[in-house]
């Protein structure tokens, strides 16, 4: 048990260290005052709309997780699951040295209803995996116009044909993986994958609002691609902080975009995520009662 605690502390410390180092790197490479100036001049309407899309993505994320719970026979009400999800977001974003959001949800559900930790952990993992599958599909989709602009393929037919094959290949491989290792969830795999695609599209819409805010819509697809890459890489940092800004900075450097604006987009997304995560503290203090449904 002690070894587990040491390992967890070491991983947390490593993630925080990665976030701090990458964020420091970015700050030293840009005019941070110019970034703040760009943010201050933002269109409030577009920021609010971006926040709404991001919040909606979390609502759908919560619903997707509950589909996995219900598949196991764990009939948590959607309202209770939304509350639990927001509290989990708070833990993920604001308590780096403590229990993670998924671990908190598993602990509480096990404590309240006696549901098996192993099954709850499997649901949480497959929930994350479903999101990653959707990201993989959208990455391929967004790579097509990006690669097309680079001129790597002489034939558009070959490029788009390859894209269709890869987009189809990603969910099929994911389904085989779930079928082999997590058979209990295979019946809802494609249903939840649909939710995952909606979630990611809502988050892309959130980022698109930020891109529009800085009036760089001509580079929209590139920014959306960069955002998805930052989501995948965020696993090595704390709450995606540092990594997101680093990826946006490096992408701007590679694509010769305005680095201050690129980093500002990453920072604003992090800020909006933090604002939504704060909602969870209200339910944490209130200690809302978790309820079940009969159907």
* Token output for 241: 């902080």
Whole-prediction pTM = 0.93
pLDDT tens digits along 184-206: 999 999 999 999 999 999 999 99
* Contact predicate 238/15, CB 8 Å: yes
- The arithmetic mean of pLDDT across residues 256-285, rounded, is 94
Q: Do 193 and 134 touch, CB atoms closer than 8 A?
A: yes
Query: What's the rounded mean pLDDT across residues 152-163?
Result: 82
Residue 154's pLDDT is what? Answer: 72
> Residue range 105-124: average pLDDT?
95
**Between 1 and 242, the higher pLDDT residue:** 242
- Torsion of the alpha carbons at 148, 152, 157 and 158, rounded to the nearest 10: -130
Average pLDDT of the chain? 92
Specify whether the CB–CB gap between 258 and 38 falls below 8 A: no
Name the residue among 283, 271, 268, 224 with its Cα closest to residue 62: 283
**What's the pLDDT band for 98 if we cut at 50, 70, 90?**
low
H-assigned helices in the chain: 2-29, 32-40, 44-71, 78-94, 101-113, 117-150, 156-181, 189-213, 220-233, 243-255, 259-286
Share of the chain above pLDDT 90, in %: 76
* The pLDDT of residue 230 is above 90: yes
Residue among 15, 69, 60 at smallest CA distance from 239: 15
Tokens of 181: 């290792």
Find the mean pLDDT for residues 177-181: 96
Task: Give the CA dihedral 72, 75, 76, 82, nearest 10 degrees.
Answer: 70
Confidence of residue 99 (pLDDT cuts 50, 70, 90): low
148 has a pLDDT exceeding 90: no
Give the percent of the chain with pLDDT over 70.
Answer: 97
DSSP for residue 216:
-
Please determine, for residue 1, whether its predicted confidence score (pLDDT) is greater than 60: no
């Amino acid at each position: 048990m002690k070894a587990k605690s040491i390992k967890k502390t070491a991983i947390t410390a490593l993630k925080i260290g990665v976030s701090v180092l990458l964020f420091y790197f970015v700050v030293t490479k840009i005019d941070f005052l110019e970034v703040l100036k760009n943010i201050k001049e933002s269109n409030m309407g577009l920021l609010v709309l971006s926040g709404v899309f991001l919040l909606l993505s979390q609502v759908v994320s919560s619903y997707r997780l509950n589909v996995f719970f219900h598949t196991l026979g764990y009939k948590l009400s959607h309202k209770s699951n939304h509350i639990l999800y927001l509290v989990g977001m708070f833990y993920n974003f604001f308590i780096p040295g403590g229990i993670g959001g998924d671990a908190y949800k598993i602990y509480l559900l096990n404590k309240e209803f006696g549901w098996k930790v192993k099954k709850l952990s499997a649901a949480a993992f497959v929930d994350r995996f479903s999101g990653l599958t959707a990201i993989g599909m959208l990455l391929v989709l967004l790579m097509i116009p990006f690669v097309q602009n680079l001129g790597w393929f002489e034939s558009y037919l070959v490029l788009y044909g390859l894209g269709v094959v890869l987009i189809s290949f990603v969910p099929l491989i994911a389904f085989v993986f779930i079928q082999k290792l997590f058979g209990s969830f295979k019946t809802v795999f494609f249903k939840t994958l649909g939710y995952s695609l909606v979630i990611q599209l809502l988050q892309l819409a959130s980022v698109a609002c930020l891109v529009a805010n800085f009036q760089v819509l001509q580079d929209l697809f590139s920014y959306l691609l960069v955002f998805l890459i930052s989501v995948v890489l965020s696993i090595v940092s704390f709450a995606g902080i540092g990594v997101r800004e680093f990826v946006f900075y490096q992408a701007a450097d590679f694509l010769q975009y305005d680095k201050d604006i690129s980093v500002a987009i990453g920072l604003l997304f992090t800020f909006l995520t933090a604002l939504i995560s704060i909602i969870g503290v209200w339910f944490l203090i209130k200690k809302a009662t978790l309820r079940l449904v009969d159907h």
